[in-house]
Amino acid sequence: MKRPGWDEYFMQITQLVATRSTCMRRKVGALLVKDKNILATGYNGVPSGITHCDVTGCLRDQLNVPSGERHELCRGLHAEQNAIIQAAKHGAGISGSILYCTDSPCIICSKMLINAGVTKVVFGRGYPDKLSLEMLAEAGISFHQHVGEAQE
């Protein structure tokens, strides 16, 4: 068995993190990594203590909101947002870190990653939000789509 490279290793972990997601549309997992150490993880879903969408139903489905649009019309947080929140909650500085995520970030998450000082983004699946990648590039944040075994 071949030992995985770092990108492959962390991308495989994002897949495991995504299994905790309570989103009915798309299960997403994210890691913030610095110096090859995981600082925080996040998956998409509703805030702590709020009824999950598998009980209430998906608001976005009910309103016929297409993927990649109207992010505010959702009861949940994105995996990247939850990873940033977990890092802040536990006092982990993420400036200079790398985001590994099952999916490319949306524009809202990209803006948060830029201001948080994340220096690189590695993602699996694409996401219908070209502005997010344009802003990452303009901010000098490198990014690439990982096409290894972890991508489905």
- Residue 101 counted as an annotated binding residue: no
The catalytic position among 8, 69, 72, 80 is 80
- Residue 53 counted as an annotated binding residue: no
- Residue 74 counted as an annotated binding residue: no
Note if 80 is an active site residue. yes
Give the DSSP letter string of 33-81: EETTEEEEEEE-BPPTTSPPHHHH--HHHHTTPPTTS-TTS-SSB-HHH
54 CB burial (10 A radius; 0-12, 13-18, 19+): exposed
Q: Which residues are catalytic?
A: 80
Binding-site residues, please? 78, 106, 109
Binding-site residues for Zn(2+), please? 78, 106, 109
